[in-house]
Amino acid sequence: MRNNRSLVLVLLVSAALPWCRALAQPADSNSAEQIQKLENLADQIKSALQQGDLDRAHRLAPDLTVGIYKQWQAVQPNAEGKLARLEQQAPASGIKRFYALSDLAKAAFDAGDLNKAEAYGRELLSLAPEYSKDWNYGNAIFFGNMIVGRVVLQRDQNVFLAKSSLLASGQTPGSPQLNSFGPNMSLAKDLLKAGERDTVLEFFTLCGKFWKMQRGNLETWAATVKGGVIPDFGANLLY
C-alpha cells in the first residue's frame, strides 16, 4: 500500500513537469536545463519505486519537490502581486475560506504586511475548531500559530509570545502534509537567531509526535542546535 501511494504521488508530480516546461519556454536555456534535471530525477524516483527501493525513492523525493517549487516560484508574481491575487480569489466564508487562509497569511507575511498576516493567522485559528474533523485542521493549528509567532517577533520583538506560538504550533495533531514532508521551520529558525535554543528543542520533540517520516532529521537538527549552530533546514523552510 505504501508503495502504491508513493508511486501515485510521484506520477502526479511528474505530470506537472510538462506544465513547468511550458512555463520555462520563454526563459533562458538554464530554465530548460533545470526542467530536464527534474524530469530525470522523477524518472529515477519512479524506477526506484518500481524496484521496491523505497529508501532511495524517499531520499530523492525532497530534491524533486524543492526543484519543482523553485521553478514554480520563479514564474510567480512578486510578493505583493501574489497577495493581491490570493485576496481576490479567496472566498468570503465557509470551508473554502478556511482552506485559503494559510496561504493568505503566509503571502501577507512575505509581502511585508505584518498586520494583515497576523489578522489572517488569527482568523485561521478562530475558524479551526469548526473544522476539527477536517484534513486541514492540523495545518490550520500549525500555520496559524507559526505566522502569528513570526509577526510578533519581527514587528514587536515579543520573544515570549513568539515562543508560545512556536510551541502551540507544535501541538498540531498533524496532517497529510505535515506528517510526510514535515513542519515549516521558519519560526524555529527566527527564534534560534534570537538565542532561544531550549524552546526550539522542545518544539522538535513535539514535532516528533506527528512527523513519522522524518528519518532522523529532528535528532540531527537537535544535535546541531545543542552544539550552538543553526541547522540547515533545507526544504523545511519552504513547505
Q: How many domains does the chain have?
A: 2
Give the pLDDT confidence of 46-69 residue by residue, as tens digits.
888 889 888 888 888 888 888 887
Question: Is the same domain home to 116 and 159?
Answer: yes
Domain boundary among 50, 74, 98: 74
Q: Which residue has the higher pLDDT, 28 or 105?
A: 105
- Give per-residue pLDDT as tens, 222-231: 999 999 999 9
65 and 36 co-located in one domain: yes
Which range marks the domain in which residue 45 is found? 2-74
Name the 3-class secondary structure at 65.
helix
Tell me, yes or no, whether 170 and 208 share the same domain. yes
pLDDT at 124 > cutoff 60:
yes
pLDDT band at 17 (very low <50, low <70, confident <90, very high): low
Q: Are residues 229 and 151 in the same domain?
A: yes
Q: What is the pLDDT of residue 79?
A: 86
Q: How confident is the model at residue 210 (pLDDT cuts 50, 70, 90)?
A: very high
Boundary of a domain, candidates 74, 105, 122: 74
Percent of the chain with pLDDT over 90: 63
CATH number at residue 83: 1.25.40
Would you say 211 and 179 are in contact if contact means Cβ atoms under 8 Å apart?
A: yes
131-143 pLDDT tens trace: 999 999 999 999 9
Q: Which helix (H) or strand (E) holds 48?
A: helix 29-50
- Do 6 and 118 belong to one domain? no
Residues 197 and 154 in one domain: yes
49 plus 158 within the same structural domain? no
Cell numbers at 43, concatenated: 524518472
Interval 141-199: pLDDT, tens: 999 999 999 999 999 999 999 999 999 999 999 999 999 999 999 999 999 999 999 99
Whether residue 90 is found in the same domain as residue 168:
yes
Both 60 and 165 in a single domain? no
Cα gap 144→171, rounded to integer Å: 12
Same domain flag for 12 and 124: no
- pLDDT band at residue 1 under the 50/70/90 scheme: very low
From 74, 102, 120, the end of a domain falls on 74
Is the pLDDT confidence value at 6 over 90? no
CA distances from 143 to 25, 91, 138, 190 (A): 34, 19, 9, 15
- Are residue 90 and residue 51 in the same domain, yes or no? no
Whether residue 202 has pLDDT greater than 70 = yes
Number of other residues whose CB lies within 10 A of the CB of residue 186: 19
Rounded Cα–Cα distance for residues 213 and 179 (Å): 7
Confidence bin at 8 (pLDDT 50/70/90) = very low
pLDDT at 28: 57
- When pLDDT is averaged across residues 92-105 and rounded to a whole number, the result is 97
Q: Where are the alpha helices (DSSP H) in 79-238?
A: 79-89, 94-110, 114-127, 137-156, 159-169, 176-180, 186-193, 197-207, 217-226
Residues 134 and 94 in one domain: yes
